[in-house]
Every structure is written in structure tokens, then in C-alpha cells.
Structure 1
């Protein structure tokens, strides 16, 4: 086998590979000889079938394997000899002319093909001792606990029917049927039956619930309301609608009690136990948000420390995935780039920058993890799989088997675990300063802060 490099541009490499016909013939003969003791052919004793006869029967199918294995071995040798770290699987271009292919399959001509490679960039890991990040820390206040317990008490309280003929008041639960219309025409998703509406809960669009005050069971009303400009269904955002409403029942809420009985209703021994459990649950949410913001800071600074060429195919694959999601979401929401205050060209450039950042940071984190010998063990993978399987009640076994049988899917489970362990490692090298903040500040993104300043 002879491999000659023909292209070396950035991270792209290309080789012309020539495997002599004699080498193919030797491999074919060796493979056919191995078949002698395995095949049973009428008229011949086991192991006595002439090679010429085996060649007529199996030569072409065996040569397909010979060519495939030869190409794989040649590519592996190129990678090994040049100490390449591949970004993608090699792209092989075999002869296309029929006569050339036939000659190779009969071992009468050399196998000549090209193989294109993309290699990973080489870069030195930066010193992180100068990196400074701020970890926002928020305490769970008594007021927040009281608010959470009040919400739970509201969810747990009972409702009883109002006296016959009584009118609905704020706080009552009204059961209704409705048909929504825009410009006199019903719209998709605008119809409901036996829908409970708690007046004042804010669960419906602004202005809807208040118009039910004073209604009685059996009443029919036309409720007029306007969808918010940022409504999640873009086709309805900002539009005025009318709802033909039929009131079917009116219920008055029971007394709001925050006591030991509330704790017991949620499986706790008493109110104090429930309070502690809520504090822990809210604390987990606070810690997770603090971690997200800290990680974003770290990755932002990490991104600034590295500049190197990126494998173009990796970037394109990342962009294709991101762009498909963006376009799909806009299609479902029936929105255009103009609705988003941009153009397709500007959006394309922005999402390509995002894709390049993701690939760059992915390569940096992988290199850091490799140098630090960070591993993801089987127990960590198992815990992640169990958690993922729990998201599909009744299908746990099927989910488990899917990941066990699909290495690529299993790699998707491993990747975020590995990334978090690398981030933990990086945080031991950077200077981390804790900053006490309020709940509101903790859950405000940096983009929102910048927008508020502007």
C-alpha cells in the first residue's frame, strides 16, 4: 500500500492511496483458502474444493470484503503513521468507472482511491489562575416559604357549591364551556368544556376571569379579551377575541389553612416538616440556577482564552442541528425573521457564531478532561439512565434497552456528565467569589440585565 498526501489545508488532509493488484490477489486467495474447510459443495470432499472453483462461486462476494477491509486498514495506517486525531470519519472516494471497478474486483488492476480527513486542532491549554467568576448565592427567605405554603394550601383547599342562584365572586371557582372566536370565526385551541376557572388566579388571558364575576350557574356570556403580545401561540398574539361562555357551576373556596393538617395532606408529619421540605426543594432550585449562571460565566471566559481553527464539518453539523430547531420552532409559531426583528442572513450569521462557540468549547472541555484524566464511570451512567427511564412511565424497560443497544445514544447520556465533571475541575483552578443576591437577581439572566440597562 502506498499513500501520498495531496492536500494539507488547515485541518483538511487528503491522501491518494494505491493498493497493488498483487496484494489484493494475495488477500483474496487467503480468504478463499479459509473457506475450503467451511463450505460444503456437492461433488467435492470437505477441504478438497479447488480454489479456482471457489473463486467462480464466491470470488466476487469475498473480494467485496477484501476491498472494504483493505480500505479500512489503509486508513487506519494513515491515521497511525501521521498521529492524526480525527474530527470525523474518513471520507473515501472509490473508482466510479465500471471498467475500473470490474478490474479491481478481479484483482487485475490496482485499487486506487482518495481519502479525505478532518483532524482535530492542536492547542495549548490556557492557565486558568487569572480567571475570576462570581457565584451568586440566594437564601430561601421566610417570606418565600410562606408564599410557597400559601400556594400549596390554595391547591389543597376544598370547594363547595354556592347556593342556587348565587353570583360568582372573586376567588370562586367557576366551571364553564366556551368557544373562542376572532373576527367572528372560531380559532384552533379556542374551545373548552367543563373547564374550571378560579377567578383571580391569572390562569387565563388578562381580562377573562374578571368578566365572570356576577355570573350565575346557567348564564351565557360573551367575554371579550385580548391575547398578550408575547403569547406563546404567535398566531394569536396581540389579537382581540370573543368567547361565548356557558357557566355550568359556581363553587366557593373553603378556608385557607396553613397548619399541621396541610403538612399531613402532603405526606409530612406536621407543618414544620413540610416547611423544611419546601425549604430544601426551593434551595435545590436556587443552587441549580446559581450553578447555571456560574457555568455560563466560566464558559464565556474560557471561550475568550482560545482561538484556533475549527473542523468545518463539525461546525456545519452543529449549525445544521441548531438551524433546524430554529426554523422548526418559527414554523410552528407561524413567525418570520422579520417578526423576530432580524433577517435570515443576520440570523444565519448569529447561529453560525453560536455553533462555532459550541464546537470550540466542546473541543476545549474534551482536551481538559483528557489531560486531567476525567472519567465517567458505569455507576454514573446507570443513574442517568434510570433517571431518563423514569420520564417514560410504563416504558422503562424499552428505554433502558434502547440505550444499551445504541452506543451513540449512550454517548449522549455520557456527554453532559463528563462536561459537568470538567466544569467542577475548572472551578478548582479559577478564583470563585460568592456574592449574596436576592431571588429576583438570581433568576435574572445577564441578557435581561443588559436589556434593562439599554
Structure 2
């Protein structure tokens, strides 16, 4: 049985002012952010898939090897483990294709950025930072943490630059919009 959506329900989510209407606003804003992010990710994936498919090149083995190792180490870090030497790394094979793709896309994106003189737009970086921070209840703290961490800010800058590359490629390509539902876009299944 689902709870009644009333003032007490809204307060349970930390909304002491505005009640149910404020809760609805926040849920709507959250869903809109999620939908925009899902659209951005889907378009980026489609553009990068096409870019990789249309630009098969021989990749430097050293770059692929480096990327394989980075993916292996990342898996270990995420699982809370550490490798003291190469024998403790996970098997190489599952990482080969993702590493090749990363290297290929990195080279292609780098060349596009250079050739088209694309530069990270500071305003877009700040917009993205605001978008990321607004997803947290302690948005000010999150914003400050990103601004104080060069690595974290660099990740946002890289993401914005990738989006600018995607926008540039999409502007050059024939694009067909396809309407999709929120559930299709986000993979969200209704409880009904």
C-alpha cells in the first residue's frame, strides 16, 4: 500500500515549507534533470558510436595497453582492492575492446578539438557544475568541493568539452529526432 501524499509525507523528505506543492516541484525538476541527462548520454553514445564506426584507424599499442591497465586498476579501486604487481590485475581480455574504443575516441575527439579550435566554455562548465550540485541537498558544499578540487573540476570540463564535440558533430550530421517516453529514456518502470 502506498502512503498518502500529504504534508507529513512532504516533511518526511525534508520539505518543512511548501508542503506537497513544493514536493511536486522538486520531483518534477528531478525528473526533468534526469531526462535531460539521459538524452545527453544517449545522443553522446550515438554520436561516439558513429564516430568510432566511421573512423577505424590503427591504434598505437602502447596507448591501448596503457588504457587496458587503467581500466584494470579502476576495477580494482572500485572493488576496494589494490594490485601490488601486474600478476594481481584482472585478466586483460575483457578490457581490450573498451580500451581500444577509449583510445580511438580520445584520439578522434582530440583531433576534432584541435582542428576546429574547440575550447571549453567556462559558462557551460559553471552551468554543468550547478546542475551536478543541484542534485544534492547540500548543493553549496558540493559546489565548493568541486571548485576546490582541480581533478573534479577537470572532469566536468572534460564532460563539457565532449558535449561541445557532440554538438559540433551533430550540427554537421543529419539528425532525426525520435520521441520516447520518460520510461523508455530512463529505464524507469512504473509500479502500477
Question: Could you say whether these structures have the same fold, taking a TM-score greater than 0.5 normalized by the shorter chain as the test?
Answer: yes
Measured at CA, do residues 286 and 320 of structure 1 come closer, stay the same or move farther in structure 2, by a change above 3 Å? same
Q: TM-score, structure 1 length as denominator?
A: 0.32
Larger radius of gyration: 1
Structure 1 counterpart of 2:87: none
Which structure 1 residue ranges, 5 or more long, are not aligned?
A: 1-146, 158-261, 333-343, 446-454
- Deviations 1:306-364 (CA, angstroms, capped at 9, x unpaired): 111223332222222110122344565xxxxxxxxxxx6xx522212111101101111
Alignment check: 8 A CA contact 1:149 1:275 kept: no
Measured at CA, do residues 410 and 442 of structure 1 come closer, stay the same or move farther in structure 2, by a change above 3 Å? closer
Count of residues paired in the alignment: 174
- Deviations 1:74-127 (CA, angstroms, capped at 9, x unpaired): xxxxxxxxxxxxxxxxxxxxxxxxxxxxxxxxxxxxxxxxxxxxxxxxxxxxxx
5 Å matches for 1:189-208?
A: none
Structure 1 counterpart of 2:52: 303
Alignment check: 8 A CA contact 2:146 2:153 kept: no
Measured at CA, do residues 304 and 154 of structure 1 come closer, stay the same or move farther in structure 2, by a change above 3 Å? same
Find the aligned partners of 1:275 and 1:363 in 2 and give their Cα distance.
Answer: 44
Find the aligned partners of 1:153 and 1:328 in 2 and give their Cα distance.
Answer: 41
Measured at CA, do residues 323 and 280 of structure 1 come closer, stay the same or move farther in structure 2, by a change above 3 Å? same
Structure 2 counterpart of 1:417: 160
Over the aligned positions, Cα root-mean-square deviation in angstroms equals 4.1
Kindly indicate whether residue 92 of structure 2 is the aligned counterpart of residue 348 of structure 1.
yes
Pick from 352, 358, 377: which aligns with 2:121?
Answer: 377
Q: TM-score, structure 2 length as denominator?
A: 0.67
Structure 2 counterpart of 1:324: 73
Structure 1 counterpart of 2:141: 393
Pick from 163, 182, 187: which aligns with 1:439?
Answer: 182
Which structure 2 residue ranges, 5 or more long, are not aligned?
A: 82-89
Structure 1 counterpart of 2:106: 362
* CA shift for structure 1 position 440: 3.0
Alignment check: 8 A CA contact 1:266 1:274 kept: no
Measured at CA, do residues 429 and 300 of structure 1 come closer, stay the same or move farther in structure 2, by a change above 3 Å? same
Find the aligned partners of 1:398 and 1:284 in 2 and give their Cα distance.
Answer: 19
Higher helix share: 2
Find the aligned partners of 2:61 and 2:38 in 1 and give their Cα distance.
Answer: 33
Find the aligned partners of 1:289 and 1:300 in 2 and give their Cα distance.
Answer: 16
Alignment check: 8 A CA contact 1:295 1:423 kept: yes
